[in-house]
Amino acid sequence: MNYKNSLKNYHLDGFVVLKDVFSINEINEILLDLEKVKVMLKKLNDKKFFHKTKDNRINTIHNVQEFYKNNKIKYLIKKKKLYSVLKNIFGSSFKIRNIEFFLKPKKTGMPSPFHQDNYYWNIENAKALNVWIALTKSNRNNGGLCYLKESHNLGTINHQISFAKGSSQKIPDNILKKLNFKKFFPVLKKGDCLIHHPEVIHGSFANKSNFNRIGVAVSFVKKNAKIDFRRMENYKKKVKHSHKKIYS
Ligand SMILES: O=C(O)CCC(=O)C(=O)O
């Protein structure tokens, strides 16, 4: 797919699949970085950076850029094919705002309830996006991402506390049921990636398969984008409340 088509798909569907962006060697470098990150997490022992499955394996790792400033991902992600799509979406300069690993181990990997990223980020005019890189194969069978096609056209809708480890808010089930968008499960192999709009509804199911499903999500924001602090405070209050319920 050429980058003009990629742009068209991104705007039309709220996401786009880019094939063969990273080589196997590059993916292996990122996986080596992930091993370093795990060692760092052990030393830090700070629960705000990770969540585990019921059999004690890491399921998600958050805000990697905060404790691993010199991570390889921020250099490796500057791929021509990917950056030309990002440049066209943003129309001006942009920067990395966050890096997260979604490890979803085989058999016990946990679901991510359906949500819109900008409900968490609160970026004015939704001037941000996520790039999700497949570090293993990822599809419907091993808990791969699922998008509600064209749902970004709704704008940001209300969420509620999810009580799911690693993703605090979700779209309420009764609302989700009523939405009439087509579900799409991208089929990715190592090195493929997804770009998704901050308001496209997406989530993933538990990984009951025999194959780990590992991805890294790199979130980008337009350089001069502002945060809607009123909405952010509201969101933080809800998260605090949900943490109290989970941990008390
Ligand atoms: O990888 C997953 O299961 C969830 C990822 C996600 O929600 C995201 O990249 O925005």
Asked whether 112 lines ligand 1 (CB < 6 A), one says: yes
Using a 6 Å cutoff on CB, does residue 14 contact ligand 1?
Answer: no
Residue 197: pLDDT over 80: yes
Task: Tell me how far the alpha carbon of residue 50 lies from the centroid of ligand 1, in angstroms.
Answer: 14
% the chain with pLDDT above 70: 96
Question: Nearest residue CA, atom 9 of ligand 1?
Answer: 217
Banded model confidence at residue 242, pLDDT cuts 50, 70, 90: low
Per-residue pLDDT of 48-72, as tens digits, reads 999 999 999 999 999 999 999 999 9
| Ligand 1 binding pocket includes 162 (Cβ within 6 Å) | no
Q: Which pLDDT belongs to residue 247?
A: 45
Ligand 1 pocket check for 117: Cβ under 6 Å: yes
Per cent of the chain over pLDDT 90 is 84
* 215-236 per-position pLDDT tens digit: 999 999 999 999 998 988 887 8
Domain count, the chain: 1
Specify the ligand 1 atom closest to the Cα of 202.
Answer: 7
Neighbours of 78 (CB within 10 A): 9
Q: How far is the CA of 145 from the centre of ligand 1 (A)?
A: 7
pLDDT, the chain, mean: 94
The whole-model pTM stands at: 0.95
The pLDDT assigned to 1 comes to 67
Confirm or reject: Cβ of 102 under 6 Å from ligand 1.
yes
- Pick the atom of ligand 1 nearest to 167's CA: 7
What was the pLDDT predicted at 21? 96
Say which DSSP state 188 is in.
B
β-strand partners of 131: 195, 218
- State the residue range of the domain holding 119: 3-247
Residue-level pLDDT at 53: 96
Nearest residue (by CA) to ligand 1, atom 3, is 204
Buried b (16+ CB within 10 A) or exposed e, 211-245: bbbbbbbbbbbbeebeebeebeeebeebeeebeee
The pLDDT score that the predictor gives to residue 245 is 55
Verify whether ligand 1 is closer than 6 Å to residue 109 (CB atom). Answer: no
Taking residues 35-45, report their average pLDDT.
Answer: 97
For strands 193-196 and 94-102, give the pairing.
unpaired
Q: How many angstroms is it from 143 CA to the middle of ligand 1?
A: 10
User: Nearest 5°: phi and psi at 30?
Assistant: -65, -40
Q: Can you say how many angstroms the Cα of residue 244 is from the centroid of all Cα atoms in its chain?
A: 25
| Angle, CA of 104, 177 and 131, to the nearest 5° | 40
* CATH code assigned at 140: 2.60.120.620
Inter-residue contact 144 to 211 (CB < 8 Å) = no
Mean pLDDT computed over 167-178: 92
Task: Express each pLDDT in 93-151 by its tens digit.
Answer: 999 999 999 999 999 999 999 999 999 999 999 999 999 999 999 999 999 999 999 99
